[in-house]
Amino acid sequence: MKILITGVTRGLGRALAEWYIAHGHTVIGCGRSAEILNLRFTHPAPSDFTALDVVEENKVALWAVKVLATHGAPDFLINNAALMNTPAPLWEIPARDFNQLIDVNIKGVANVIRHFVPAMVARGQGVIVNLSSGWGRSTSPEVAPYCASKFAIEGLTRALAQELPAGMAAVPLNPGIIDTDMLRQAWSDGAASYPKAEAWAGVAAPFILGLGPKLNGQSVSVPGLGE
């Protein structure tokens, strides 16, 4: 399988990439961190890693041209790149922080879809998995920007599902609660009681490969790690 993953340098994206490569799949990934250089070194061709911010639509467009010319349309497109806000009442969150989160969590997903999904549609197959959250289906105080972005991902993905041809799927996926830097930003040391990303990937990665047209437009959670 050819699997495209955004936000691949750490957390869930990194764990998924490592699992898929270890199990013989080709991973095409992007990320903003300098760790992308290490991924290039440790996982050479056919896997393919690019330093990229999904917010920069023109750079996403150029990346897509390169990837599609080299690899063709991906079998799975996993929109994972996201930010978490520093917990605070909504009125205390600076506009700059709010805007940056919305740009990455919503606009970045749309940018990647805009430049990769047409090739998937032309081929008539492929699965788009947009990482949602329990906070995309329920709410908690002090994470309003993140909740807003993930509620948006739920709606965006379910609407996209209605636009796809038969044989394809778009699925909003709640990964569950995993001990990552993002969760520690929200819950501090409380995150340590949850599974590590590597253990999560052992369940989530094969589960994602099982997603397909029968689940098109359905809100799904990783088994045992859902809401």
Q: Which helix (H) or strand (E) holds 137?
A: none
- Cβ-Cβ contacts under 8 Å for 125 (sequence gap 6 or more): 75, 167, 168
pLDDT for 178? 81
- Cβ-Cβ contacts under 8 Å for 198 (sequence gap 6 or more): 15, 18
Residue 113, phi then psi, degrees to nearest 5: -60, -45
pLDDT for 227? 42
**Domain boundary assignment for the chain:** 2-221
User: Which segments of the chain does DSSP mark as H helices, in order?
Assistant: 11-22, 36-42, 57-71, 95-102, 108-123, 144-163, 181-187, 197-209
What is the C-alpha to C-alpha distance for residues 197 and 91, in angstroms, rounded to an integer? Answer: 32
CATH topology of domain 2-221: Rossmann fold (3.40.50)
pTM: 0.94
Question: What amino acid occupies position 65?
Answer: V
Give 10-residue mean pLDDT values along the chain (227 residues): 97 97 98 93 97 98 98 98 96 98 98 98 98 96 97 98 98 86 59 76 97 98 72
Q: Which residues are catalytic?
A: 146
Taking only Cα atoms into account, the Rg of the chain, rounded to an integer number of angstroms, comes to 16
Q: Which helix (H) or strand (E) holds 221?
A: strand 220-221
- Cβ-Cβ contacts under 8 Å for 25 (sequence gap 6 or more): 1, 2, 3
